[in-house]
Structure 1
Amino acid sequence: MGLSGTSRLRVRYAETDQMGIVYHANYLIWFEVGRTELFREINLPYTRFEEQGFSLAVIEANCRYRKPARYDDDIKIVTTIDKVTTRSVTFSYLVYRDETLLAQGKTVHLFINKEGRHTDIRDTDLWRQLQMIISNN
């Protein structure tokens, strides 16, 4: 698929541990920043999902740490939509400081309805919007 977006952030002191290195769980938060901004860039913010009665539930998350990020680093998060089906979305992430790859990861999300049940979005405006965006990129 390959629809991608780039987000930037500066490492905050609160994100680091006693050794001055970014605590590992913060990368998952950065992944969320990346996918939220990617959806916003394609004019499909999470609020639009919610307005149509859907959410995205994380069912898989992984991260491979390559190099440490530290306080005040300028971080770039490249987020790519790898796969979209009527039931799920898969994202991949690359986290950089300058040109140095710090981490790479993947998350898989299921579409769920207001009752928290896994759902198929095939006959929805949301699915039609996603299909239009994907076909234009």
Structure 2
Amino acid sequence: MSEVETKPVVSESRVRVRYAETDQMGVVYHANYLVWFEIGRVDFIRGLGMDYRSMEREDGLGIAVVDVSARYKAPARYDDELRIETRLVAARGAVIKFGYKVMRNSDDVVLCEGETVHVVVDREMKKRSLPEKYASRFAAVLI
């Protein structure tokens, strides 16, 4: 457990805006932020020493998105390098909540802030509590 306690509470991921992610106005299409939230979430879980693929294949569980919110503050444009900060907001029973901040790396301007709420499900998409081996790691970064 001591290894988990030394991990940062906020993980950081980087992406570069591809041309295909922009709209006719030359700014990032809003739905791409949800993809970047996922990148941050997967990196956060990996940073805790867990692997989402193993959670699915070995433990037969998924983390289904049930709610998303995003507040857009400034536009991102083609070739901007972005930094995604991800943190765990809550983890209790079957519910997990992550928070995100997407910033342009060159000037640290906050472009978008958001949250996702997830429910832990089994292979049949039935709600179940997060197994202790994952719950304890999440609890360690909520303290």
TM-score by length of 2: 0.86
In structure 1, the residue matched to 2:18 is 12
Alpha-carbon separation, structure 1, partners of 2:9 and 2:118:
16
Extract unaligned runs of 5+ from structure 1.
Answer: none
The alpha-carbon deviation at position 18 of structure 1 amounts to: 1.1
In structure 2, the residue matched to 1:25 is 31
The alpha-carbon deviation at position 133 of structure 1 amounts to: 5.4
Say which of 78, 103, 114 aligns to 1:105. 114
TM-score by length of 1: 0.90
Give identity over the alignment, percent: 39
RMSD across aligned positions (CA)? 1.6
Matches for 1:45-124 after TM superposition, within 5 Å: 45-50=51-56, 51-98=58-105, 99-121=108-130, 124=131
Structure 1 segments, 4+ long, off by >2 Å, are: 127-130, 132-137
Alpha-carbon separation, structure 2, partners of 1:40 and 1:9:
17
Alpha-carbon separation, structure 2, partners of 1:112 and 1:96:
31
Q: Do the aligned residues in 2 keep the contact of 1:59 with 1:110 (CA within 8 Å)? A: yes
How many residues were matched structurally? 132
SS in 2 for 1:7: strand
Extract unaligned runs of 5+ from structure 2.
Answer: 1-7
Q: Do the aligned residues in 1 keep the contact of 2:12 with 2:83 (CA within 8 Å)? A: yes
